Amino acid sequence: MQNATVLNPSVLTLGFGEMTAMKYLYSVISLIFYILIIFCNVTVISTISLQKRLHEPMYIFIAALCVNGLYGSSAFFPNLFFNLLQETQTISYIGCLTQIYCIHTYMGCELTILAAMGFDRYVSICHPLRYHSIMSMKMVLKMVIAAWLYIVILFSTHFALTVRLPLCDSVILKIYCDNWSVVRLSCIDTTLNNIYGIFVTVGVIGLMPVLIMASYIQIFRVCLQSSKATREKALQTCSPHLITLINFVVDVLFEIILHRYKPTTLPYGLRVAMSVQFLTIPPLLNPLIYGDNGETRLKRILGMLFVFLTDHFVLL
């Protein structure tokens, strides 16, 4: 790569590949997905905003999660839809960098908001008498702002390291731009990018789930010492959050697999499906999970298992 010809292309070609054979079908599907995501998330945000009884910490975090879902999906779906209708699937270099920044900050903010929600559940269940004094509205707003700022500051340095790179190729293997896809096109040594990339990964994908797990370990300990009714109430408040977390982490793991191994070693259809999971499923699923009906269904599905496990630990 050191001796490669520097291109610094103004337009990059995206890896739509076999999708172009049925591009009109995929464009309709992407449009439907995007409309559903907008409708579901805006509905939840509007409901929380208009209903004063929902101006509670947990609902503020849910609204922040929905805003983040709109942010991430808007960085992906419009470009996907319009590209599918074109003869050639390309994106400007500036557009690519913008998409990189939006998608990566969306992914990070999803985890930081989930970590804040985990702390909220911990205070609610482990310190119920002090809940309102600890989780004041001022505290909640600070946590939401901190969740965004942490990712913006952490990723902005990573982004700056990517922007400085001269490029020797113009072909992105994915149907959207991500940081690694651009870094791999560089003509110069990218060791610094790789090292800082590991730091960012540990600081977000490593740290946030650990903080959430720490909260739930404390919640689980309290549940072991509580009545069956208390454990069921804890399940009702925690199960949507756990499902959201598991869903997003699994989707991100799919993306990490593509980063770890060369994308071309996987079948094209599987490669595309794995790469877009975290951009499509969480923004659509989160509003459904946190709706009243969704929460009731989750409680029915997981209730018996949760109580069974805690009963067994109490007996042990």
- DSSP string of 91-132? EEHHHHHHHHHHHHHHHHHHHHHHHHHHHHHHHHHH-GGGHH
Residue 5 maps to a domain: no
Residue 3 maps to a domain: no
Per-residue confidence of the chain (316 residues) as pLDDT tens digits? 445 566 667 788 887 877 888 888 889 999 999 999 999 999 999 999 988 888 999 999 999 999 999 999 999 999 999 999 888 888 999 999 999 999 999 999 999 999 999 999 999 888 888 999 999 999 999 999 999 999 999 999 999 999 999 988 888 888 899 998 899 898 888 999 999 988 998 999 889 999 999 998 888 888 877 777 777 777 777 878 888 888 888 888 777 776 666 556 667 777 787 788 889 989 988 888 876 544 444 444 344 444 444 444 444 3
As for how many domains the chain has, the answer is 1
Domain extent for 58:
11-315
Distance, CA of 162 to CA of 91 (rounded, Å): 17
Q: Alpha carbon of 7 to those of 3, 93, 165, 194: distances in Å?
A: 12, 12, 11, 22
Residue 244 maps to a domain: yes
The pLDDT tens digits for 33-47 are 999 999 999 999 999
| Those residues with Cβ within 8 angstroms of residue 147's Cβ, 6 or more apart along the chain or in another chain | 64, 109, 112, 113, 115, 116
Burial per residue of 51-76, b for 16 or more beta-carbon CB atoms within 10 angstroms, e otherwise: eeeeebbbbbbbbbbbbbbbbbbbbb
Residue 35 maps to a domain: yes
The pLDDT tens digits for 184-229 are 898 888 999 999 988 998 999 889 999 999 998 888 888 877 777 7
Q: What is the CATH number of the domain that holds 197?
A: 1.20.1070.10
Distance, CA of 130 to CA of 137 (rounded, Å): 14
Residue type, 183: V
Strand partners, 171: 13
Four-point Cα dihedral 62, 66, 67, 69, nearest 10: 140
Give the pLDDT confidence score for residue 244 in this predicted structure: 85
| Those residues with Cβ within 8 angstroms of residue 253's Cβ, 6 or more apart along the chain or in another chain | none
Residue 132 maps to a domain: yes
Which is nearest to 104 in space by CA: 156, 147, 33? 156
Report which DSSP code applies to 75: T
The pLDDT tens digits for 286-299 are 888 876 544 444 44
Residue 123 maps to a domain: yes
Residue 229 maps to a domain: yes
Q: Are 103 and 72 in contact (CB under 8 A)?
A: yes
Tokens 């990070």 map to which residue? 108
Residue 157 maps to a domain: yes
Give the pLDDT confidence score for residue 306 in this predicted structure: 45
